[in-house]
Structure 1
Amino acid sequence: MGQIKVHTVCRSAFILFFLQESLRKITHTLAVKNEEISNFICSLKQSLDNLETNSNRVQEDLESEFSCLHAVLDEMKESMLTRIKQERASRTYELQSQLSACTKALESSEELLELANQTLCSSQTDGFSQVTGTLLTSTHPVTMAPAFRLSLKTKASDNMSHLMVDFSQERELLQALKFLPVPATPEIQVSECQVCDNTVTVSWTIPEPDSKIDHYILEYRRTNHEGPPRIREDYPWMVVEGIRQMEHTVTGLRFDTRYMTFRVRACNKAVAGDFSEPVTLETHAFNFKLDSGSAHQNLKVEDLSVEWDSCGGKVQDIRKEKNRTNSPMHSPARSALMSPKRAPTARPGRDRFTAESYTVLADTMIDAGQQYWEVRFDKESKAFAVGVALRSLGRFDQLGKSSASWCIHLNNWLQQSLTAKHNNKARTLDCSIPGSIGVYVNYEEGILSFYNAKTKQLMHTFKTKFQQPVIPAFMVWNGSFSVVTGLQVPTVVQSGQRKNSGTSSSNASLT
């Protein structure tokens, strides 16, 4: 009976646990759905507010445009009326002057005519001879009268038809006025987009030709989620305006997230069209932080920068590192990537590097794929090294002096030299010392290459077979350096690696 009772209790507890778990799942699903509905309600309210604002704006713009059109018409009307008035005044003056001259000539001519008629009717011979002589003398002939000097052709026309206007064509244009058509929505061609060399080239098309499109606006933002953008994102939209072609290359990027979302819209002189459907492109690159918990106490680690601290022993703020909510350990991008893998923050069973091993490791292991990063260092440092190491690297081990690490080493102590080191063997490199070094790892092929980060000239290549995951490793003594992560493998490096893949390694003695 006791066993049956215990069995019944256990079964009841199991059923209760199962029901609780089911209820938790349902509650979680409902909470997520409620959040989605709340976000959608917020979006609808925002759309209503935007609709009111945009409607008022376009109404004000329309009234402003018609006011400007009325002002232009009124100005043209005043100008044309002034022209008519000036033309009328000028012609009136000409015709009135001609009329006055003709009137005076007519009066003078009538006086002479009356005098001549009176003379003809006179019966006195002497008087007739005297008057006739006067009218016919060369000093005052009748033919010199004003009536004979006048031009009987009108100096100004009364026709004003040349100032008539025909607004039929303009009237048709005004009657044809309508709202400017909104540009069509572009379509981003994912197959034409390229992600390489820390740049992204985005290409798009328009469904049908539109000669009124003036330019395009491209927006993009980083994200850790594949697919359409979410309402709540950690990163804001970045805007690129005034694009004249149907493609654009975004340069100067640092890929600190796994994806990047793009959208584009077309604009004419007055209005912008709708955004295209967002497209999310994968922007995979190698990201890591420096593990301050592994650093020698003479190394002052701040984010991705390291400086030699001669005082030494400065306690690192471990609590701050543990409480950072945006730590790469909890980053969605880091959890989404299968490889590289983040290494434990504490080195199992080991303390930080000590003695003359002025070393610090990264917090991310490489166990697959091709990775690339760069390091900028002070060439006046007494010693500096960059490379990779196994997690088992001893706390007293110096980079390159054991089988667990490979590096390029700068020595500035007695004379300046640059050497490749592995397993306590060194090879002097016959190349100038660059300001920054690029590090390339192909885990499957067992290749570790070092480049002049600026010129991409190959400095040295180790060829080996990595039996365990490796970690970026750095060393500095009396100097400083900073690491640049979030970089893709440069195209020129990939090309060079393919070209050299069939050749034998000249560094076999160091592998």
Structure 2
Amino acid sequence: METLESELTCPICLELFEDPLLLPCAHSLCFNCAHRILVSHCSSNKPLESISAFQCPTCRYVITLNHRGLEGLKRNVTLQNIIHRFQKASVSGPNSPSESRRAPGLSGGHRPYSSSGGGSSGSHSARSSPAQPSSHQHTATMSLEHRISCQFCEQDPPREAVKTCVTCEVSYCDRCLRATHPNKKPFTSHRLVEPVHDAHLRGLTCLEHENEKVNMYCIVDDQLICALCKLVGRHREHQVSSFSERFDKLKQTLENNLTNLVKRNSELENQMAKLIQICQQVEVNTAMHEAKLVEECDELVEIIRQRKQIIAVKIKESKVMKLRKLAQQMANCRQCLERSGALITQAEHSLKENDHARFLQTARNVAERVAMATASSQVLIPDVNLNEAFDNFALDFSREKKILEGLDYLTAPSPPSIRDELCTASHDTITVHWTSEDEFSVTSYELQYTIYTGQTNFISQPFKLDPKTAHKKLRLSNDCLTMEKDESSLKKSHTPERFSSTGSYGAAGSVFIDSGCHYWEVLLGASTWYAVGVAYKSAPKNEWSGKNSSSWVLSRCNNNFMVRHNGKEMLVEASHQLRRLGVLLDYDNNSLSFYDAMNSQHLHTFEVSFLLPVAPTFMIWNKSVMILSGLPVPDFVDCPEEHQEGMMTLCRQQDSPYVSGMKGCH
């Protein structure tokens, strides 16, 4: 009991929980203690409602309050009921009269009962003689929400009831209970419970038989019934159960549902808190973007204002220059007009002279001056070579206007469509092909996930036989590790990557290798006609491997062993009992070697400048072979430089090198 009491003690007041709150961290706290915590965090000039969070005193988890404050937290009803039961058990004890009279239904389980009068007997729990209740019992009774008075007291006001007799349907105080229910038959069969209201007792009466008490539960109709309902009523054919059984099931279901509901509410509150946080972040981001928009637009306006001032100054300077030139020309014209006017006046005066002698004396000088003025008029009168237009200042902001009208947020491109049939993967390289519907889509990019600069990788890459490349007359088994000639297997569809040569049946490995050092072995069994090696993906599939420049193989034709590449063949000395053929591909050091793994014998090494990823290649003409991949390099395999003798250098330049890394192509 002491351990249970410590579990029911508040960590603040060190008393039993009173009106406990269920915190989101699953701990509990008294309502008043939580209120005192908020008061301690509140300054003198702030209202209590301004406190929106506090820490759990047990685990220091931050409890966030909504606008309802502490009222927004859930009450721990289950804990409160446990405390009530603990208090009753502590003050009563298992041998006390109050405990022996407690109804099974309110002490953890129900038991059926039948109707009886004040002195009738039935199958009820026996009770001990009533005893004087202690002060703790009165304190527990006063903690009920509504005070229940004794219905048998003659004094006014009546004393507080301590028990309710379900059989008599009357609530008694301690004195009246001892007087009316002595520890003798038939009163020992009366069922006493904690004080309850009359409405609770009336609810225990059968709905169809008013004078009968309910004592069983109809599972079919899901309702309380009495014995008459089961014997002669409409429930006689229905399945029924006892109160205790139904009570346990329903209580367990309710507790489970309540637990799930509390859990869901907690999840919803967490989700709500996240949504509130997101809303706050949206507000912050919106304000940030609005400020950024205002800043960028202000910068654009400032640039336009500065450019406006600069262009306006240039226009004014051009205006002053044009007006200065025009004023100079106007002054020149004015001087010409003044000289011409004086000469015209003098000539007109001479024309008025009628005396021939005087006219001849004066007119010759005037005539010379007029002739000279007329001859030089084209020189004296300046040409007007200026106009009102500003040809050097053509203002055209149409392009800038379109750019300004198109101001908007940058949008992410639509997701591309990956073309699986064009994608390839090798030891450490993935080539991805895709298509995009965007007008300005990315055509390609190269991504290097890691760059290895240490020692050469001697961990072989495991692989299997690729069914998509296997010849129609080959059957793959043993998890695609064994290939066998099968003339009856003709149901495979033809694809570009499938081997299709006549008389030779091939398959490729499931990987493409472009770096590292890799070793695998081929268990040849009883096969006497085969070819093993590597090839580019572009190698022809309708001819023997080694007949082209894209494949390198070691083959056996009955009793002859030979290596073949680009149509060139060279005999190799090997045992006719060769059963395990080892293949070492050192891509980084440009070599492909073959070994008799059983006898630790080197057979041949190709020195090849690989330009593209290669895939292991296997061909058979009879029997079957099995591959063992991902093997460590055996001890008998030394550095390829030790076998320089007998090497055949066969390589061909490709159009473009293969770029290692992860590469995307449009």
TM-score, normalising length: structure 2: 0.27
Instruction: Name the larger-Rg structure.
Output: 2
Higher RCO by CA contacts (8 Å cutoff, separation 6 or greater): 1
